[in-house]
Amino acid sequence: MPVLRSLFLMLLASVSAAVAQGAPDREHRVKAVFLFNFAQFVDWPDSVFADPDEPLVVGILGDDPFKAYLDEVVRGEKVNNRPIVVKRFRKVEEIKDCEVLFVSPSESPRLEGILSSLKQKHILTVGESEDFQRYGGMVNFATEGGKIRLKINLEQVQEAGLSVSSKLLRLADVSGARRE
Amino acid sequence: MPLRNLRLQQRLMAIMLVTSACVLVMTCAGFFAYEFLTFRQSMVRQLSTVAAIVADNSTAVLAFEDRKGAEEILSALKAERHIAEAGLYDGEGRLFSTYPKDADPGEFPPAPAAEGFRFGGGYLQGFQAVVQNDKRLGTLYVKSDLKAVTARFQLYGAVVVLVSGLAFLLAYLLSRALQRQISGPILALADTARAVSDRRDYSVRARQAGTGELGLLTDAFNQMLTQIQGQLTRMELLNQITRAISERLDLTSVFQVMLGALEENLAVDFICVCRYDADARLLTVTSVGAKAAPLAEELGMTANARIPIDDGLRQCVGGQFTYEPDITNLRHTFTDRLADKGLRSMALSPLLVDSGVFGILIAARKVPDGISRMDREFLRQLSDHGALAAHQAHLYGALQQAYEDLRRSQQAVMEQERLRALGQMASGIAHDINNAISPAALYTESILERETNLSTQSREHLQTIAHAIEDVAATVARMREFSRQREPNANSVPVQVNKSIQQVIDLTRSRWHDTPQQRGIVIKIKTELDPGLPPVMGVEGEIREALTNLFLNAFDSMPEGGTLTLRTRKGKDKDVIAEVSDTGAGMDEETRRRCLEPFYTTKGERGTGLGLAMVYGVAERHGAELQIDSAPGKGTTMRIVFPEAEEAIAERQAPEAPAAPLRLRILVVDDDPLVAKVLRETMKMDGHEVATANGGQAGIDTYLTARKSGAPFDLVMTDLGMPYVDGRKVAAAVKAASSATPVILLTGWGQSLLEDGDMPPHVDKLLSKPPKMADLREALASLAPKKTAGGIPA
Ligand SMILES: Nc1ncnc2c1ncn2[C@@H]1O[C@H](COP(=O)(O)OP(=O)(O)OP(=O)(O)O)[C@@H](O)[C@H]1O
Ligand SMILES: [Mg+2]
């Protein structure tokens, strides 16, 4: 059905145009892809999902630096047969079902409170500020020489009941004790 | 060199080595092919495994765009020596990272192609997807050189060469050792065969080689040698015997040699040769083997015993070799005869020549089936040779006999020729002497008669002359007896020779009884006369005279006395034989040869030498043969063999006819005037009155006219073949007029008509043309009407 398909693509283009209130910078485009890729390398406990089809939620707390790009990235993708949904939260209290949560730099002042409230929630927390990990953030994007480096606090990750693939750990700067 | 020209050992080894080489090559080829295929597969598998591992490790670096990490991961491929290049492509198909790190990106495929690995361009290369949790993150490209394959196959090649070499060496050593199992016995056999053929020594034997096929072969070979050896021995023997018998020229010794050889070389208990008489269906034992003689005595089969042919012998006398392994139950007369004396097996071999079976060879043994096949064959062959030799001996005898007969008859002819010449001379002399002494005798006689005034002395002289002339006349008379030719008209009558002998014994009494007794000498006379002796035809006086001469000669030869034996008997073909035998001095060779010659004598003045000449003349005239058996000191037998009397009678009947002279009126009818004239002249000379008629009708007319005129013909002689009226018609007409008038038919076919016994009607006698005087006379005499005999006035 080439006609249908082209129609659909046209529709898709108009929607993304509508969503994008402006394109993110190259750094945040990469980070958006990484955010999605975390879902590939991290395992959540089964209890997180009520049923097998329940979508995996990538949430953004605070201002969204990715604009509509993240939606573009996850559109149509699946992790372990689960569709991926992007949710944007204004407050910590709004977060109910969420697997990966990007904590926007806009939330830096309230960081300590946010992170501690998410502690028991099996949420992989991702941030991009200097002191994100100091307050218990799990994964931090650090920019060194124009390159994005991943920093992972393994202790925090494990405490949240998540397991990170060794492949991911190998290319990240890992801190925190490893529970063997 | 072709395989078949190699020696057996090399051949066997070559076969085994070629076989193992083939097996090795096939094995190696299979091994290589298998390795080639499986190694490529395993190479692909290995490379894809490596690629899968690397791809799996590459997920995160691709996901998080970690080039350094990617380089690290790819550099791990260093461990795989043969991987020449590798490259990671990201999700968009862009080359993300390469191995080696500083490889020229231009060498890499510009974009990832379909997954999987394939050989090509001297490399094995392909793509492996990089996937994390079903998410395709990129593609790994790997390219491996094929040095591994080459290295691998180099190694394999070395191994194969080594193993093959070792295997071949082993095969060589094994085949060398194993081929002996087969070639050993065969070579031994070949050696034996060579020894046999080189040295012609059939006594060697091949070494035994177990019980397999080779063993059987050796057995068969040895057995063959045994048979050849046996055959050779037999052949040599046969040769010997054949040579021995071919030297013999009489049957008995041929058979004796044959039987002797058989007894010596064959296991037989009884052996003999019999002659076969096909007409009488009899076998006559001719020779018996020396060792078999006692058994032959028991069997009643000694020399000259006769055996009638029964069913048991029939086949053999029919010309077939017969062998009976056991004769006990055959129930033939002959076989039972042998079986009774304990004989069990018997072979009968016919003695054959072209004309058929003339004898058989009988061999028997006391054990059942005791005559082996080889022995039988030997018997058969020997019989053939024996038969041939016997036949030859027989032919030789016949030849000898024929030669002897020829020589004797030639001698007799010569003798006769000589005597005939002598006889002619003697008769000439006798004639001349008679002529010469006739005047002397006549004058002497007339002077003695008429001249009375002769002196006593003259008269005595004249009387002496007269005696001398008488002596000469007597001698000439005896001489003529010898030389006188046989005269057909001689007065032959049947003579009883026995009677003549008796008379001569009486006549010569003084010579064998009176005179010798006076001198004290005894001469015995013995007679063995056949009382049933038929008479012979001859002149009695001559026969008596001849016998007298033989008697006198016999007495002369026995001056000291002895026995005179007189024998008569019938010889073969009804001959009559008279023999005069004495026990006197006998004759030496020269005398015996010349005694028949006139004037040959060994008695000097006392003999004239005309005695036997006269006897010979008499014998000649009687158609008899004079035989002389004599040797110095052994006495002499003189034998006169008179011919068959019947023949003599028939021959001598003719001269009886002219006893009474005939004068007949004869009519000759012939269409040939010359023949008629000759007949007329001839018969006229005998005193007959002869008229001729030219042709059949003229003949009949002449006969009837003469009859009417009262002067009938006594006899008519007519030709057979004449135009119009032939001889038969003439005869019929004559007989119609006077049935008593005899008719003689003259014919050019007379002889054949006579032989056919086809006497035409009305004809009394057939005479063939030209008629002989004697036949003519005889015919006239036999047919002359009795009442008119001499009826014509002289
Ligand atoms: N029965 C005989 N035994 C030995 N010699 C014989 C006998 N008959 C003949 N002869 C020999 O043959 C010779 C010839 O014999 P033949 O009768 O012809 O003459 P002959 O006896 O000598 O004289 P002739 O008979 O005239 O008195 C004899 O001289 C004698 O040597
Ligand atoms: Mg004499």
DSSP line for B593-632:
HHTTSTT--SSGGG--S-HHHHHHHHHHHTT-EEEEEE-T
**Burial level of B389, CB count in 10 A (0-12/13-18/19+)?**
buried
Q: How confident is the model at residue B321 (pLDDT cuts 50, 70, 90)?
A: very high
Chain A residues touching residue B64 (CB < 8 angstroms): 34, 37, 150, 168, 171
pLDDT digits (tens, 9 = 90+) for B222-238: 888 888 888 888 888 88
Residues B574-584, mean pLDDT to the nearest whole number: 93
pLDDT at B750 over 60: no
Which has more confidence, B776 or B498?
B498
Alpha-carbon gap, residue B742 to B716, rounded angstroms: 6
Which chain B residues are within 8 Å of A83, Cβ to Cβ? none
pLDDT interval class at B571 (50, 70, 90)? confident
The pLDDT value recorded for residue B602 is 93
CB of B97 less than 8 A from some CB of A: no
pLDDT band at residue B771 using 50, 70 and 90 as cut-offs: low
- Asked, for residue A127, whether it belongs to a domain, the answer is yes
For the stretch B96-110, pLDDT in tens is 899 888 888 888 888
Q: Answer whether residue B491 shows pLDDT above 80.
A: no
Atom 7, ligand 1: residue with shortest CA distance: B553
Q: Is there an atom of ligand 1 within 6 Å of B612 CB?
A: yes
Q: Does the beta carbon of B634 sit less than 6 angstroms from any atom of ligand 1?
A: no
Under DSSP, the state recorded for B771 is P
Residues in chain A: 180
Domain assignment of residue A19, yes or no: yes
User: Phi, psi (5° rounding) for residue B483?
Assistant: -90, -10
The tens digit of pLDDT for each residue in B399-445 reads 989 999 999 888 888 888 887 788 778 777 877 787 777 777 777 88
CATH, residue A11: 3.40.50
pLDDT tens per residue, range A131-174? 888 888 899 998 888 788 889 998 888 888 888 888 888 888 88
Distance B482 CA to ligand 1 centre (A): 15
- In the prediction, which pLDDT does A13 show? 47
CB contact (8 A) between residue A40 and residue B61: no
Among the ranges given (A96-100, B9-13, B643-647), the one the predictor scored with the smallest mean pLDDT: B643-647
Query: Among A64, A69, A124, A72, which Cα is nearest to A98's?
Result: A124
CA pair distance B542, B554, nearest whole angstrom: 19
pLDDT in tens, B721-736: 788 888 889 999 999 9
pLDDT attached to residue B430: 77
Which of B361-365, B434-438, B476-480 is the most confident on average? B361-365
Q: Going by DSSP bridges, is the β-strand pair B576-582/B636-642 parallel, antiparallel, or unpaired?
A: antiparallel
Give the span between the Cα atoms of B657 and B645, in whole angstroms: 19
Query: Does any domain span residue A23?
Result: yes
Per-residue confidence at B792, pLDDT binned at 50, 70, 90? very low
Q: Chain B residue closest to A164 (CA)?
A: B60
* The pLDDT of residue B786: 59
Is residue B131 over pLDDT 70? yes
**pLDDT above 90: percentage of residues in chain B:** 20
For residues B511 and B691, give the distance between their C-alpha atoms in angstroms, rounded to a whole number.
63
User: Has residue A47 been placed in a domain?
Assistant: yes
Helix (H) or strand (E) holding B499: helix B497-507
Residue of A nearest to B66 (CA): A171
DSSP string across B640-676:
EEEPPHHHHHHHHHGGGGGGS----EEEEE-S-HHHH
Are B88 and B74 spatial neighbours (Cβ–Cβ below 8 Å)?
Answer: yes
Q: What is the model's pLDDT at position B758?
A: 61
Note the pLDDT of residue A61: 92
Q: A80 and B60 in contact by Cβ < 8 A?
A: no
ipTM (interface pTM): 0.81
Percent of chain B scored above 70 by pLDDT?
92
pLDDT at B753 over 60: no
Best residue in A31, A35, A36, A40 to probe B by mutation, most B CBs within 10 Å? Answer: A40
Task: For residue B525, list its beta bridge partners.
Answer: B564
No. of H helices and E strands in chain A? 6, 10
Mean pLDDT of B742-770: 68
Q: How many domains does chain A have?
A: 1
**B478, B553, B589, B602: which to mutate for ligand 1, most atoms within 8 A of CB?**
B553
Which atom of ligand 1 is nearest the CA belonging to B608? Answer: 26
Ligand 2 center–CA B551 separation, angstroms: 9
The span from the CA of B747 to the CA of B569, in Å, is 44
Nearest CA to A98 among A87, A111, A110, A83? A87
How many degrees, rounded to 5, is the angle at CA B23 between CA B22 and CA B24?
90
What is the reported pLDDT for B769?
65
pLDDT for B506-544, tens place per residue? 888 888 888 888 888 899 999 999 998 989 988 888 898
In testing the pocket of ligand 1, which one of B560, B601, B608, B628 has its CB within 8 Å of the most ligand atoms? B601
Tell me if A61 is assigned to some domain. Answer: yes
pLDDT reported for residue A88: 92
Q: Which of B398-402, B478-482, B684-688 has the highest mean pLDDT?
A: B398-402
Residue A180 within any structural domain of the chain:
no
Q: What is the mean pLDDT of residues B289-310?
A: 90
Give dist(CA A124, CA B184) in Å, integer: 94
Average pLDDT of the residues of chain B: 84
For position B703, what pLDDT does the model report?
A: 93
Q: Is A24 part of a structural domain of the chain?
A: yes
Asked whether the predicted pLDDT for residue A102 surpasses 70, the reply is yes
Q: In B, which residues are within 8 Å of A77 by CB distance?
A: 135
Q: Which domain holds residue A156?
A: 2-175
B53 interface with A at CB cutoff 8 Å: no
Q: Using the predicted structure, report yes or no on whether residue A80 has a pLDDT greater than 80.
A: yes
User: Which of ligand 1's atoms lies nearest the C-alpha of B585?
Assistant: 4
Q: Are A80 and B134 inside 8 Å of each other by CB?
A: yes
Residue nearest to atom 23 of ligand 1 (CA): B607
Asked whether residue A89 is domain-assigned, the answer is: yes
pTM: 0.41
Q: Is the CB of B636 under 6 A from ligand 1?
A: yes
Position B65 pLDDT exceeds 80: yes
C-alpha span between B738 and B732 (Å, rounded): 10
Looking at the predicted structure, is the pLDDT value of residue B584 above 50? yes
**Phi/psi of residue B323, nearest 5 degrees:** -135, 125
Q: Nearest chain A Cα to B132, which residue?
A: A40
Confidence tier at B664 by pLDDT (50, 70, 90) = confident
Which of chain B's residues have a Cβ under 8 Å away from the Cβ of A41? 59-60, 63, 132
For residue B556, is pLDDT > 70? Answer: yes
Q: What is the pLDDT of residues B557-566, one digit of tens each?
A: 999 999 999 9
Give the tens place of pLDDT for each residue, A15-57. Answer: 444 444 567 788 888 899 898 988 888 989 888 888 888 899 9
At B654, the pLDDT band (50, 70, 90 cuts) reads: very low
What pLDDT sits at residue B650?
46
Please check the confidence at residue B25 and state whether its pLDDT lies above 60: yes
Both structure tokens of A104 = 């926007």
Strand-pair partners of A124: A100
**pLDDT exceeds 50 at position B5:** yes
pLDDT of residue B657 exceeding 50: no
pLDDT average, residue stretch B159-175: 88
Residue with the smallest CA separation from ligand 1 atom 27 is B607
Instruction: Give me the residue label for tokens 């925090």.
Output: A156
Give the model's confidence band at B497: pLDDT under 50 very low, under 70 low, under 90 confident, else very high: very high
Are A149 and B64 in contact by the 8 Å Cβ rule? The answer is: no
